[in-house]
Structure 1
Amino acid sequence: MRGLTVALVLAMSTFIVSPEAQAHPHGWIDLSVRVITDDQGVVSGLHQTWRMDPFYSLVVFEELQQVENASLEEGLDQLGKEIRDNLATEHYLTEVSINGEPQALGEVSEYTAMERDGRLTFMFILPLATPQPLAGSQLNYQVFDPTYYIEVVHEEEDGQPRDDALILHGEPACELSILPADPDPEVVMQAALLDKDESGEPGLGRYFTETGQVDCR
């Protein structure tokens, strides 16, 4: 189990490369987000679902099946904890702002790892440190690997984000949108020059990330 844990930790803490850059993606994650609010429109967190790419998922499941005296379910439970613990050191690869003000994030205590349609799926609730009212405000979030090692994109259909890639639970009077990345050509070139076994400098991934937007103004 330790070998799998090390491999996963390395993969989960290094992340992304975009096909647009024609660089060398090491994998990707399909993302969907549910913004959690109460009946008064106060946002408390983001319920995130990450679906790992099929090849990476296959490797993980094969390694789990080779662990002696452990079921797949037991292995996934341990794996989920390792993913959570590793992501905690990286602020869960998530940034949230309200009206342009960065929001402090809490600790993840609700999470699960599972096999779904042949894909390793990790689901977790990322709370805000302090819940905030959304009425009259705009919330933005980004989920990305700073070193641009694995691509994180919202769930797509026919090249466009799916309607359920970003949903709002609670307050209905808001406009939801997923804004595409628009990196500078020089940054695209920088990513394209990465060798197949390289990751970018910290901060590169920010230029290639989508932005989820909840506009309640």
Structure 2
Amino acid sequence: MSRCIGACRAILFHLLSRYPKTMKHLRPLMPSHTRFWPIWMTVLLLMPALAQAHPHGWIDMRMRLMLDDQGRLEGLHQAWRMDPFYSLIILEELGLAEGEGGLEAGLDKLGGEIRQNLAPHDYFTELQVDGEKLAVGEVTEYTVMERGGRVEFIFMLPLETPLPLSEKTLYYKVFDPTYYLEVVHEAEGKTPLDDALTVNGELTCSTRIVPADPDPELVMEAAMLDITDEAEPGLGRHFAETGEVTCD
């Protein structure tokens, strides 16, 4: 329920402001439209006491490690599903947009904007092996689609240099540094789905998703941030799940 309230709060702010100050990493500037006022009124009537605290939206993620025939990690195939309310806004905006190609062309353009906005932030992805951070390359393979009423951004994040994973453990986190958005592995309740973290390759690997365990003071700090506030970069890391992949 807390996710829903936060997402609804984000919608209200989007509708009331033509130029949003936050959520800038994922959301291109999209003009408000009078057609959205019925949505705004419905949300307002259903949730008169909307949450103020960060995060204000979420992403359900699936991660697949891509290994070559030598057991080297080449990249991470990621699929991000935007929360239902933000997806609704995007699909409404693209449906109203004029031009050739319709929704499909609009989603293609959106994918390019998301990729461009995420590039300076390493695509919200942090990787470590043996205590050393791994450098990532440039994303060139990506797409955006609508699935089950939600917008999904799918991309291949390559490593700058392929890394042998035999007898090693990879740790990763995917997070919005300002914690405006929460990024979590796709789950049923509190149990991650079987395809939330997988490995594609010949090596035998075990996987584990470790829930975040933030300090109570950081939880309080996030709770005090209004939707118009932007947290110090790095706050989101403390609320991120950790993926662990150990290969024989």
> What is the DSSP-based 3-state SS (H/G/I as helix, E as strand, rest coil) of the residue aligned with 1:44?
strand
Change in 2 beyond 3 A, CA 1:10/1:195:
closer
> What is the DSSP-based 3-state SS (H/G/I as helix, E as strand, rest coil) of the residue aligned with 1:32?
strand
1:54 counterpart (81, 84, 89): 84
Change in 2 beyond 3 A, CA 1:168/1:91:
same
1:11 counterpart (23, 48, 59): 23
2:92 is the alignment partner of 1:68:
no
For residues 175-195 of structure 1, what are the alpha-carbon distances to aligned partners after superposition, in whole Å with 9 as ceiling and x for unaligned? 100111111111111111112
**How much does 1:161 deviate?**
1.1
Is the 1:12–1:83 Cα contact (8 Å) retained in structure 2?
no
Which residue of structure 2 aligns with residue 31 of structure 1? 61
Is the 2:60–2:81 Cα contact (8 Å) retained in structure 1?
yes
2:183 is the alignment partner of 1:152:
yes
What TM-score, normalized by structure 2, do the two folds share? 0.78
Q: Look up the equivalent residue of 2:212 and give its one-letter code.
A: A
Gapped regions of structure 1 (runs ≥ 5): 1-5, 16-20
Structure with the greater relative contact order (CA < 8 A, sep ≥ 6): 1 or 2? 1
Which residue of structure 2 aligns with residue 204 of structure 1? 235
What is the CA RMSD across the aligned residues, in angstroms? Answer: 2.1
Is the 1:97–1:139 Cα contact (8 Å) retained in structure 2?
yes
2:195 is the alignment partner of 1:164:
yes
Within 2, Cα distance between the matches of 1:162 and 1:188?
26
**How much does 1:90 deviate?**
1.4
**How much does 1:140 deviate?**
0.9
Number of equivalences:
207
Q: Look up the equivalent residue of 2:136 and give its one-letter code.
A: L
Is the 1:8–1:83 Cα contact (8 Å) retained in structure 2?
no
**How much does 1:9 deviate?**
10
- Pick the structure with greater CA Rg: 2
Identity %: 58
**How much does 1:171 deviate?**
3.4
Q: Look up the equivalent residue of 2:59 and give its one-letter code.
A: I
> What is the DSSP-based 3-state SS (H/G/I as helix, E as strand, rest coil) of the residue aligned with 2:199?
strand
**How much does 1:7 deviate?**
6.6
Which residue of structure 1 aligns with residue 5 of structure 2? none
1:128 counterpart (159, 165, 169): 159
Within 2, Cα distance between the matches of 1:172 and 1:181?
28
What TM-score, normalized by structure 1, do the two folds share? 0.89
2:225 counterpart (161, 180, 194): 194
Is the 1:140–1:213 Cα contact (8 Å) retained in structure 2?
yes
Is the 1:14–1:147 Cα contact (8 Å) retained in structure 2?
no
Which residue of structure 2 aligns with residue 80 of structure 1? 111
Deviates more, 1:145-154 or 1:22-31: 22-31
Within 2, Cα distance between the matches of 1:117 and 1:92?
24
Gapped regions of structure 2 (runs ≥ 5): 1-17, 28-50
Within 1, Cα distance between the matches of 2:103 and 2:171?
36
> What is the DSSP-based 3-state SS (H/G/I as helix, E as strand, rest coil) of the residue aligned with 1:90?
helix
**How much does 1:128 deviate?**
0.3
Deviates more, 1:87-96 or 1:123-132: 87-96
Is the 1:14–1:149 Cα contact (8 Å) retained in structure 2?
no
Is the 2:52–2:227 Cα contact (8 Å) retained in structure 1?
no
